[in-house]
Amino acid sequence: MSTVKLSQWETMLLEAARAHGLVDEEIIHKLRTGDRGPFADVEGGKYDYTPLFELYQSDSAALEQAIRDGYQIKFTTMNGIKFLLNKRYRLLAEQDYQVEETALDQVRLSDEALQWMRQTVSKNWRIVEQAKLADSKETVVRFELAAS
């Protein structure tokens, strides 16, 4: 089974809903039934979830697979990575890691988080392991914009 590719915006909507406390099966049920109510509460209604509902209408199987099994972002920007790090792992730019012009440096991730980011972030980024922290089972990494 191949990995579903989603737009960065679709992934941002999905991860914002998850960060708000909606679990995967609940998200799928709401998409299936067209119930937009719970999404209106995500970050005080900051996001319009229409694109996620439209994607569900056009390819429900792919979106359900992406939600349950993971996805890859078609094209990830630096702000997209920062968004994922914040929503999924509660990491803040300039507080938990450094932001450079074309890189994010000194990002501490658990082994599971690192594996998820490697699967999810598009191939225009390279994730470089800088140090393995045996005591905490974390790895310090650098996200670098890959040369084209």
Domain ranges across the chain:
4-73, 78-145
> Looking at residue 148, what is its pLDDT?
55
DSSP state of 111: H
Confirm if 72 and 3 have CB atoms less than 8 A apart. yes
Q: Is the pTM of this model over 0.95?
A: no
Confirm if 41 and 3 have CB atoms less than 8 A apart. no
**pLDDT in 10s for each residue of the chain, 148 residues:** 689 999 999 999 999 999 999 999 999 999 999 999 999 999 989 999 999 999 999 999 999 999 999 999 999 999 999 999 999 999 999 999 999 999 999 999 999 999 999 999 999 999 999 999 888 889 999 999 987 5
> Looking at residue 145, what is its pLDDT?
93
Phi then psi for 22, rounded to 5 degrees? -75, 130
Q: Which contacts of 104-112 are long-range, i.e. CB under 8 A and separated by 24 or more positions?
A: 104/78, 104/142, 104/143, 105/142, 106/130, 106/140, 106/142, 107/140, 107/141, 107/142, 107/143, 108/133, 108/138, 108/139, 108/140, 109/138, 109/139, 109/141, 110/137, 110/138, 110/139, 111/137, 111/138, 111/139
> Looking at residue 68, what is its pLDDT?
96
> Looking at residue 96, what is its pLDDT?
97
